[in-house]
Amino acid sequence: MSDHSEQAGHGVHIVPVRTYVLVFIALMIGTALTTAAAYVDMGPWNTPVALAIATAKLMLVVLFFMHVKYAAGLTRIAILAGFFWLGIMVALTCSDELTRHWEIIPKGWGGMIVPFLHHLLF
């Protein structure tokens, strides 16, 4: 019996051992890669690269180890909703906290417009 045709009753999808081993190897390579990447100066790109690798690892774990690739649509929507709500929390909190020190009217509009017109006209 080949690994792929292994199917228990009641529609249980049995993931082949090969898939689990490949996912495991990919996760290990991802860990080595993200650790190595931290020692390379990529300027502002270090954090995005680390997060991208972490997210790729998350996808592998969720899809294969947690069987979401074979899960019902309802379960997938519930998971996506969870991450979407996390996105709302992060985005709205940042839009508040990180913009508090912004000046609403930088130096006063009048103070900007008059020198600007002066610069244009003279």
Write down the least CB distance from residue 2 to another protein, Å: 13
15, 64 contact by CB (below 8 A)? yes
Residues lying near another protein in the complex (CB under 8 A) are found at 6, 8-12, 14-15, 17, 20-21, 23-24, 27-28, 31, 34-35, 37-42, 46-47, 50-51, 53-54, 57-58, 61-62, 64-67, 71-72, 74-75, 78-79, 81-83, 85-86, 89-90, 93-94, 97-98
In order, the DSSP letters of 54-108 are HHHHHHHIIIIIT-GGGS-HHHHHHHHHHHHHHHHHHHHHHHHHTTTTS-SSTT-
Residue among 93 and 115 whose Cβ is closer to another protein? 93
Write down the least CB distance from residue 78 to another protein, Å: 5
Residue among 61 and 114 whose Cβ is closer to another protein? 61
Length of the chain: 122
Write down the least CB distance from residue 113 to another protein, Å: 32
Of 31, 51, 49, 27, nearest in space to 40 by CA: 49
